[in-house]
């Protein structure tokens, strides 16, 4: 049966590899010279190959320099249990590929296009694709939704790279002179900075930020929300008192039963339910507490 599935997927021209993350199937979404970029896809508990499912793709953080592909695996596992297809996306970073933030944005857009292009084969509802991430990964998700350029020249630009919703964890919003990463981005910041590219019809967005985040000022998040709403877009902002960068991550040795991981994922669940992407009440507290 397994060989049959692999053969069928090969016919669809998807590069399928053995699972390297338990419960996730591995696909190549992009090849640049010797660099292979992959997506790791998990089907929901109620998967039916005759149906399509809302899908969320996670981009890890790490300042576009490095990062851990599995940092959002606990989030992906939970949302798969709630009925979504979940995806962990690799992309080019400086330490492994000697690349720039501009390359990372192009990769994020390519990943979303791959999911849309292969939506029928992967049982994805192409009108319900959510982009998510933390820090620089949150920047990639937001940039895919707002920045008009930075497309890979090999992509099919007739396929939209714009997600239908955003779930952002202490994201980099501002790449301008007073924002994050300006020393690497320089005067090209209008091309890549989400807060400088907000327009009408941006995807509905939820943002989580700690008030003691040393990288992302609270005022920047408030300004992003203000600009989104002035343009007629939904933007829900949740601030967590005295919390620092990365406060939402799941930790095996947590002394507070992963309070902020649970609370932010609970609000994510409610947000996605409000959009019609999930049904029923969140189960996160029963799962992780």
pLDDT, one tens digit per residue, over 232-246 is 999 999 999 999 999
Q: What is the pLDDT of residue 254?
A: 72
CA nearest to 141, candidates 26, 56, 78? 56
Q: Could you confirm whether domain 19-288 is CATH 3.30.930.10?
A: no
Q: What is the pLDDT of residue 286?
A: 66
Q: Is the dihedral of CA 224, 227, 231, 236 positive or negative?
A: positive
Q: What is the pLDDT of residue 121?
A: 97
Q: What is the pLDDT of residue 288?
A: 60
pLDDT digits (tens, 9 = 90+) for 66-90: 999 999 999 999 999 999 999 999 9
pTM score: 0.92
pLDDT digits (tens, 9 = 90+) for 270-289: 999 999 999 999 999 766 65
In 51-159, alpha helices (H): 73-81, 94-97, 101-117, 119-122, 136-146
What's the whole-number mean pLDDT along residues 138-163?
Answer: 98
């Amino acid at each position: 049966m397994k060989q049959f599935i692999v053969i069928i997927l090969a016919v669809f021209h998807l590069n399928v590899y053995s699972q390297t993350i338990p419960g996730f199937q591995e696909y190549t979404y992009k090849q640049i010279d010797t660099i292979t970029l992959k997506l790791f896809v998990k089907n929901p508990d109620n998967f039916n190959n005759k149906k399509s499912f809302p899908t969320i793709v996670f981009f890890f953080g790490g300042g576009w320099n490095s990062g851990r592909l599995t940092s959002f695996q606990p989030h992906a596992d939970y949302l798969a249990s709630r009925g979504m297809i979940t995806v962990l996306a690799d992309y080019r970073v400086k330490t492994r590929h000697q690349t720039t933030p501009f390359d990372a944005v192009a990769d994020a857009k390519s990943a979303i296009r791959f999911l849309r292009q292969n939506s029928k084969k992967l049982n994805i509802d192409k009108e319900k694709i959510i982009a998510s991430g933390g820090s620089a990964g949150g920047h990639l998700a937001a940039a895919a939704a707002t920045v008009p350029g930075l497309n890979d020249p090999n992509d099919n630009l007739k396929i939209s790279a714009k997600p239908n919703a955003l779930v952002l964890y202490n994201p980099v919003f501002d790449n301008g002179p007073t924002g994050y990463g300006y020393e690497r981005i320089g005067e090209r910041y209008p091309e890549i900075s989400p807060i400088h590219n907000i327009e009408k019809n941006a995807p509905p967005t939820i943002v989580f930020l700690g008030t003691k985040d040393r990288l992302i000022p609270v005022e920047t998040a408030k300004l992003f929300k203000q600009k989104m709403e002035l343009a007629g877009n939904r933007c829900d902002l949740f601030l967590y008192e005295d919390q620092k960068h990365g406060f939402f991550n799941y930790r095996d040795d947590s002394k507070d039963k992963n309070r902020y991981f649970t609370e932010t994922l609970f609000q994510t669940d409610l947000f996605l339910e409000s959009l019609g992407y999930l049904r029923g009440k969140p189960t996160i507290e029963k799962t992780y507490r």
